[in-house]
A and B are shown apart, each in its own frame.
Chain A
Amino acid sequence: MKILVITEQRQGKWNNASFETLVAAQQIAATASATITALVIGYSVAPLADELALKNLAEVLLVEHELLDSYTPDGYCLALKQVIDSSKPDLVLFPHTYQVRDFAPKLAASLGKGMVGDCIGFRGDSGKLIFVRQMFQGKTAADVTFTGAAPWFASFQSGAFRADQLAAHPTGKAPVNAVSVNLTAADIRTKPLELFKEAKSAVDFTQASLIVAIGRGIKAPENIAQAEALAKAMGAELAASRPICDEGWLPMERQIGSSGQTVAPKLYLALGISGAIQHVVGMKGARTIVAINKDANAPIFEIADYGIVADIFEIMPALTEELQKSKSV
């Protein structure tokens, strides 16, 4: 089997989820006797291809064109379709980034193929590859298989594999081969303009050691004061899952998850957060996770060290009082 991994960079800087997907490819290769080709796409990105050549890969493909300098779905799809047509991989893997979500389904469709996106793992079952992904906001997992002929397309969720397990090349270097692609400016219908960050005084939780986070369970903006009091008693930062910020109850800059901040505090206390995938990817690196939720089946309990199945409105004041008491001792 031939695996092609499409890596991601922006302005010459890696998206680190690329390395996690390479690890996934190495693990699949170990069970299914496959060779791995890694692909770098962009313009003036040869140094990145040279860096990948040091990893345990059969080959690195370098796809460069000035029209690929900035990402566009049209440019990437046209270029990658040409590479896939010529290199004929069986399995094409991507990191499940926002950019991949934007073009990979279209690339697969342009070849008449489907894509299994946002996978958290794989299994080999009597020669058949099974991809595991979450459904119903993480409340269930699903085993998914491809039907029909290769190539098959799949993406892996950020954090599903550990980038530090990426194996180095056993003897030296994998060959780097440049692949030329034909693109014209008229092929590209959308025009990317400037990149920017919204908030100047953005709250930075990356160094926070204690975080109290609220989710839908907080029910109404007037209830946030209770969570604030608890955070204060603990000396913690107050954060939230996306729906709370979408409602405007807390500013967007306090959002934890795939579209917000990724944090790894000593303690993460999740109040009324169900544990949807998009939130969990932003906080599962926390050393200790506490979940308080009235639904005993909430997926947040799958990753929690300590759990209390209860109404947060009963626990919040009790916990605040307990913390104040233990502080004054």
Chain B
Amino acid sequence: MNILVCIKQVPAKDAPLTIAGNWIKESDIGFEMNEPDSYALEEALRLKEKHGGEVIALSLGPERVKQTIKEALAKGADRGIHIADDNFAQLDPLGTARVIAAAIAKENVDLVLTGLQSDDHGFGQTGVLLAALLNLPHATLIMQIDVQGPTMKLKRELEAGWFQWIECPLPAVLTIQSGINKVRYATLKGIMAAKKKEIAAATRESLGVTFEPTQKIEKIYIPTKTKKTEFLTGTPKEAAAKLVEKLRFEARVL
């Protein structure tokens, strides 16, 4: 079973963000694997261990995203594909998906996995769009995958604690819900082995993809507050005492 996992690199969770035009200033911050995608990668590695085949890690973005592909290789992916694109932040979801779909179309894969959404743009559309562009069936927010010959039985998460079983034929595209598994760490052996693994390079041009964007991020900004927050200061003991006072006598909720 050949599985391709789409992985995005995003600003580290605790990175202080400085806005620069319609993106953020990238020079001073660290980056990491988009957490939802790490669950998709883990699921791909587990499916490979069970059913054989290979795992391909694909990422689109500037040179720095190679580091995240290497991390996937160190965890056990067999090879990587880096679609170099310095202008990725301004791509709309459909444009991003067109580029990735063109790269996937060259591969012979049974299953394409993505995380449910990225922690930067947060569109949550890539997986569904890949299915549309590759004309494959799809399912989203998957919490369990049972491969049964040419089809899969999938546990899909709905809202408010509900789930649904669905059957989906292979090949297909699935977006993985966070929490489906416990993500592994790379071992030292894995990190050494990754050095010998191939990362193929591609670009929008080499893939022959041209398109007009369907939407534009005009600007990004710090959101305006909807509530006026009263900040309580002092030592921990003083702040705690002030808070209890406020909650008892002002908000009257204790």
Contact = CB atoms under 8 A, between A and B. Distances in A.
A134 interface: yes
Contacts of B11: 136
A309 interface: yes
B8 to A, nearest CB: 13
Interface string A186-220: 00011111111111001000000110000010000
Given A101-B128, A258-B159, A307-B232, A234 B254 contact: yes
B217 A144 contact: yes
Given A109-B133, A145-B216, A277-B122, A97 B221 contact: no
A299 interface: yes
Interface in A17-57: none
Interface in B151-202: 153, 157-169, 177-179, 182
A292 to B, nearest CB: 9
Contacts of B214: 108, 113-114, 146-148
A197 B237 CA distance: 43
Contacts of B16: 297
B129 A145 contact: no
Contacts of A139: 17, 222
Contacts of B163: 195-198
A106 B121 CA distance: 18
A193 B236 contact: no
B121 A135 contact: yes
B221 A140 contact: yes
B226 interface: yes
Contacts of B241: 322
Given A101-B140, A114-B214, A147-B216, A288 B253 contact: yes
Given A134-B223, A143-B219, A252-B179, A308 B232 contact: yes
A195 B223 contact: no
The main secondary structure of chain B at its interface with chain A is mixed
A137 B159 contact: no
Given A191-B167, A195-B162, A109 B157 contact: no
A260 B13 CA distance: 22
Contacts of A130: 218
A295 interface: yes
A196 B162 contact: yes
A299 B221 CA distance: 12
Interface in A276-329: 277, 287-291, 295, 297, 299, 301-311, 314-315, 317-319, 321-323, 326
A274 B13 CA distance: 10
Interface in A198-249: 198-199, 202, 209-210, 216, 234, 242-243, 245-246, 248
B166 A190 contact: yes
Interface residues of B, number: 82
B244 A323 contact: yes
B212 interface: yes
A139 B221 CA distance: 9
Contact of B131 (A106, A234, A309, A321): A106
Interface in B80-138: 92-94, 97, 119-125, 128-129, 131-133, 137-138
A218 to B, nearest CB: 14
Contact of A147 (B24, B138, B179, B213): B213
Interface centre among B94, B140, B239, B248 (most CB of A within 10 A): B239
Given A98-B140, A136-B24, A315-B240, A267 B253 contact: yes
A69 interface: no
Contact of B122 (A103, A137, A267, A323): A137
Contact of B229 (A74, A258, A306): A306
Given A142-B219, A191-B167, A326-B244, A306 B162 contact: no
B227 interface: yes
Interface string B56-96: 00000000000000000000000000000000000011100
24 contacts: A98-B141, A115-B93, A117-B125, A136-B122, A137-B119, A140-B19, A141-B222, A143-B219, A144-B217, A148-B212, A191-B166, A193-B164, A195-B158, A209-B253, A245-B179, A266-B253, A277-B122, A291-B229, A297-B17, A302-B226, A303-B226, A307-B229, A310-B236, A322-B237
Given A140-B17, A193-B153, 9 more contacts: A109-B97, A117-B123, A145-B216, A147-B212, A147-B214, A287-B253, A291-B229, A317-B236, A323-B254
Cβ-closest 8 pairs across A and B: A114-B214, A246-B179, A318-B240, A189-B137, A193-B165, A314-B236, A106-B132, A105-B125
